Amino acid sequence: AKKQGKNRHFWFERSMENELRFRNELETGIRRGVQQGEFVPYYEQQIDLDTGELVGFEMLARWNSPQLGLVKPDIFIPVAEDMGIICTLSEQLIDIALEDAKQWDPSITLSVNISPVQLRDQWFAQKLLKQLVKHNFPPQRLEIEITESCLHENIALVRTMITSLRNQGVQISLDDFGTGYASLSQLKTLPFDRLKIDRSFVGSLSAESPEAGSQLINAIVSLGDGLRLPITAEGIEDAHILELLREMGPLKGQGYHYGQPETSAQVQQRLTALNRL
């Protein structure tokens, strides 16, 4: 038994060591990836559920790592946030995305995710507006998605930045709504343009008892109505969920039912087929 315990201790230390090594390699890789331009935007369609029309794309970051292959943001965004490199990374991706989106029909919007770390920078709004000017991109076509976790940081600063972005026409969405800390009073006092219902709620519509899920979504939809905030439902995975959502009122939606996130080239093909490039 003693021998076994020693062994376990050994393996424990080994796995800690491995984890640290992996983390170190990840950080080095991310730093180099930013320098080498290995991060690329993918795009997910956003649909007007009433008309079925394509109305926008959400940009989702991917890392084309020479060692790891195509890496999802859940792996590198938290690390990039810790490293503080998220601001540079995001700026880089937005530069590319704005150029991509300029090729699209001007009726099509671009949504980008903004990390709470970026919102701690008091110059964030100015920098983003400067970027729009640099690319000659109409602010009205840009939407930024922030999560509820931004709201328990420096609310006063966040409000100031949101307000100056909105004054220029940028749309502000509250992402992953329902999973975080937003209080109803914050919803009223912060100037959002839209709520995005988290895909965990939307996914519950396909569960064995979809009634509970649909009551919850109905509640969010009527909250949105009351606050005059339009709603996007994310994570629509099948036609059944889509049908249920369409009955709940005019919504925007996105999800794998419409397709996986695509590269800029794939988006161009899609838009060419739709005659909207």
Question: For binding to ligand C2E (CB under 6 A), which residues are involved?
Answer: 44, 60-61, 72-74, 77, 90, 93, 113-115, 175-176, 199, 234-237, 254-256, 261
In the complex, the smallest distance separating the C-beta of residue 146 from Ca ion, rounded to whole angstroms, is 9
Contact 221, 248 (CB under 8 A): yes
**113 is a site residue for Ca ion (CB under 5 A):** yes
Pick 65 or 90: Cβ nearer ligand C2E: 90
Contact criterion met (CB below 8 Å) for 219 and 178? no
Which amino acid is present at 212? A
d(CA 90, CA 39): 9
Compare residues 74 and 247 and give the one whose CB is closer to ligand C2E: 74
In whole angstroms, what is the distance from residue 170 CA to residue 111 CA?
Answer: 10
Q: What is the three-class DSSP state of 118?
A: helix
Of residues 231, 238, 237, the one with CA closest to residue 217: 231
- For Ca ion, give the closer residue by CB, 113 or 264: 113
Closest contact distance (angstroms) between CB of 83 and ligand C2E is 13
Q: Which range binds Ca ion by CB under 5 A, 4-12, 13-21, 109-117, 260-268? A: 109-117
Task: Tell me which of Ca ion, ligand C2E, none is bound by residue 22, counting a contact when its beta carbon lies within the kind-specific cut-off of 5 to 8 angstroms.
Answer: none
Please provide residue 250's backbone torsions phi and psi, each rounded to the nearest 5 degrees.
Answer: -70, 115
By CB under 5 A, residue 173 contacts Ca ion: no
Quick check: 144 and 196 in contact, CB under 8 A?
no
100 makes contact, choosing from Ca ion, ligand C2E, none, with CB < 5 to 8 Å by partner type, with none
Residue among 193, 149, 189 nearest 167 (CA): 193
Q: How far is the CB of 114 from ligand C2E (least distance, A)?
A: 6
Stretch that binds Ca ion, among 11-19, 45-53, 137-145, 224-232 (CB under 5 A): 137-145
Instruction: Output 100 or 176, the one with its CB closest to Ca ion.
Output: 176
- If the CB atoms of residues 29 and 111 are measured against Ca ion, the closer one turns out to be 111
267: Cβ–Cβ under 8 A, 6 or more apart, which residues?
43, 57, 100, 104
Residue 152 DSSP one-character state: G
Can you give the binding site for Ca ion, defined by CB under 5 A? Answer: 113, 145, 175-176
